[in-house]
Amino acid sequence: MRIPSDLYQKRYRDRRGRRGRIGWQQKWRAWLDRRIPAAHEHHLSHRNIFIFPSRAGLVYAAFIGMLLLVAINFENSAVYALVFLLSGMLVVSILHTFANLSGLQITGRSGESAFAGRHAVFKIILSAQERVHYGVQLSWQEVSTEHVDVEPGAEQRLSMRFRTGPRGICNPGRVKIQTSYPLGLVTAWTWVDLDMHAVVYPYPDKNAGSPAARSAYHESGSREQTGSDDFFGLRAYVPGDSLRSVAWKTYARNDQLASKQFVDYIDNRLWLEWNAAHGSDEQRLAQLCHWALLAEGGHHEYGLQLPGEQLSPSRGRRHLEELLTRLAMFRLPDAQSVVMQNTAEQDAAPQSAAGQVGNDTTPPNAVEFS
């Protein structure tokens, strides 16, 4: 997980879903769900490829129709020949465009975690086996990739950004894959659901302030102060020490006065508590998210206490990810299976040096807090 450096500079708002889909769009998507069900991997063939003329193709077809009317009206053999030639090019273009997309294999990987309203990055792999696929383009959410060529036996790894909504699980839905190679007269396309998900953390509330420190006496603490609970050792007697602190057994053995030392161990671990926040559930989660980011930038271990669950104190990126995931999944029981699936995929996939979780002691990218 990477914490963006401009996290607090702009408040992102999710504006999706404000316009309801009309009836034919709902029926179309329902038909797509039956025709092309969700799967992590899709192999394109005649079962899931659609072909439709492009704008240039429609103009081209209109031009052929106009030439046909001219040929019929003037009974001109040369114009007839031109009409048949252009029509044949259109038919051949349909076959080549379909063949350019057929046989392509698309594989989806679960996306990286993101904060609510930010972009989540999803990895999509294009691979070919028998032929070269030219000019393949992927698009969703009105964002398109560049046209790429996929060589046989090779892979094209694409990273696509998707604007997330509220906290929980983000499913980007169907991605459009299309090509207009070779002449651009027709477009072969398909919409596939790669069953990808990403965990969306609550957007942190920068006005939440700092978490309230709650120190407690605990034997596992890393710091001690003078107290009266645990025996620490002996020191030379100083006039004025209480007679109760004098080690009389030691005095009886070596005839030297010594005083007992007692200390209290202080637990410096920080607890982020649900009851310490205020407001609605979403407001409390936003405050806890902000406190977690602050605590990760500190020097002490920190834990989380939510109603019905608790995360033991620790530090590091993995601990921060687990804590933010619990905030994202709070009171969303249906999403737990998706989180386990994403975790298994991340453990199986090789981690790169940039943008991936490495050493747990490595702090996240710098974030300025006001």
326: CB partners within 8 A, 6+ apart = 304, 306, 309, 311
Span of 44-53, 120-129, 205-214, 338-347 with lowest mean pLDDT: 338-347
Tell me the whole-structure pTM to 2 decimals.
Answer: 0.69
What is the predicted pLDDT for the residue at 263? 60
Q: Render pLDDT for 115-142 as a digit per residue (tens, 0 to 9).
A: 998 889 999 999 998 899 999 999 887 7
Q: Is the pLDDT of residue 366 over 80?
A: no
Task: Categorize the per-residue pLDDT at 243 as very low, low, confident or very high, splitting at 50, 70 and 90.
Answer: confident
Task: Categorize the per-residue pLDDT at 360 as very low, low, confident or very high, splitting at 50, 70 and 90.
Answer: very low
| Among 192, 244, 13, 240, residue whose Cα is nearest residue 115 | 13
Q: What is the mean pLDDT of residues 149-164?
A: 90
Task: Categorize the per-residue pLDDT at 165 as very low, low, confident or very high, splitting at 50, 70 and 90.
Answer: confident
Q: What is the mean pLDDT of the chain?
A: 80
Beta carbons of 274 and 288 less than 8 angstroms apart = yes
Q: Render pLDDT for 107-116 as a digit per residue (tens, 0 to 9).
A: 998 888 999 9
Task: Categorize the per-residue pLDDT at 187 as very low, low, confident or very high, splitting at 50, 70 and 90.
Answer: very high
Q: Render pLDDT for 28-81 as a digit per residue (tens, 0 to 9).
A: 888 888 999 989 999 999 999 999 999 999 999 999 999 999 999 998 999 999
Beta carbons of 319 and 361 less than 8 angstroms apart = no
Spatial distance between the Cα atoms of 2 and 351, rounded to a whole number of angstroms: 13
What is the predicted pLDDT for the residue at 21? 54
Spatial distance between the Cα atoms of 205 and 112, rounded to a whole number of angstroms: 21
Q: Render pLDDT for 263-310 as a digit per residue (tens, 0 to 9).
A: 655 667 888 999 989 999 999 999 999 999 988 888 788 999 999 889
Spatial distance between the Cα atoms of 272 and 291, rounded to a whole number of angstroms: 7
- What are the tokens at 202? 């609550």
Q: Is the pLDDT of residue 15 over 70?
A: no
